[in-house]
Amino acid sequence: MNIQPGAVVCKDSVVTGDVTIGSKTVIHPKATIIAEAGPIIIGENNLIEEQSIIINRLESNSDSGKKRVMIIGSNNVFEVGCHVEALQIGDNNVIEMKSKVGRDVCISNGVVVSCGCTLETKETIPENTVILANGTRRTQLERPAAPTSQVEFLTKIFPTYHYLRKAQGTK
C-alpha cells in the first residue's frame, strides 16, 4: 500500500492489496478498497465515503496470471454505499449513493452515475453524461465540481476524530 503525503486515510477503512492513494484524497471510515486481481491506482483530490466498495475483482474465468490495473483519476466523488469494479475511471466523476458500476464499464470524465443506478454492460460512458436510475441518459454542459472544499474541511477535522494511516509507508 502506498499512501502519498497529503492523503487522509482512516484506519477504520479496509484497504488491502497493492493500492496507491494520491495526495489530498480522503477515505472515510468503513470504506473498502480491495485490490485482488491487480493494483489499484487512485489519483488526487478524491473523496471516498463510507460503505463504498472499490474492488479490482479476481474473476474465476479470466487468465489467472494476468494482472489488471484499476486506474481511478482525480477529483472523483464516491458517495455512500457505491460499488465500483470498473477498471478505468477518469476525472471529475460522481458515483452517487448505492449505485453499482460493473467491471467492463469504462467511465471517462465528468460522468454522474445517479443514486441506485446499475451499470453492468461493456461500454464506455462518454464525457459529461448523467445516468439516471430509470435508464435515461443526458449530457450536461459542465463537469461536476471537484470536491476540493469538502476535502480541505475533512483534512482538517479528521485527525481530531479518527486514527489515520501513515502516509508513504507500506503496511
- Interface contacts to other proteins, rule CB under 8 A: 12, 29-30, 50-51, 80-81, 97-98, 115-116, 133-134, 149-150, 152-153, 157-158, 160-162
Residue 35: HSE in the Cβ half-sphere, 13 Å Cα cutoff: 20
Closer to other proteins by Cβ: residue 29 or 102? 29
DSSP assignment of 94-110 equals: EE-TT-EE-TTEEE-SS
Closer to other proteins by Cβ: residue 70 or 78? 78
Distance in Å, CB of 75 to other proteins, minimum: 15
The closest alpha carbon to 44, from 72, 19, 68, 70, belongs to: 72
Closer to other proteins by Cβ: residue 27 or 87? 27
The phi-psi region of residue 7 (left if phi > 0; otherwise alpha if psi is between -120 and 50; otherwise beta) is: beta
Distance in Å, CB of 122 to other proteins, minimum: 25
Closer to other proteins by Cβ: residue 87 or 113? 113
The closest alpha carbon to 72, from 137, 8, 25, 13, belongs to: 25
Taking the C-alpha atoms of residue 153 and residue 73, their distance in angstroms, rounded to an integer, is 21
What is the longest distance spanned by two Cα atoms in the chain?
A: 45
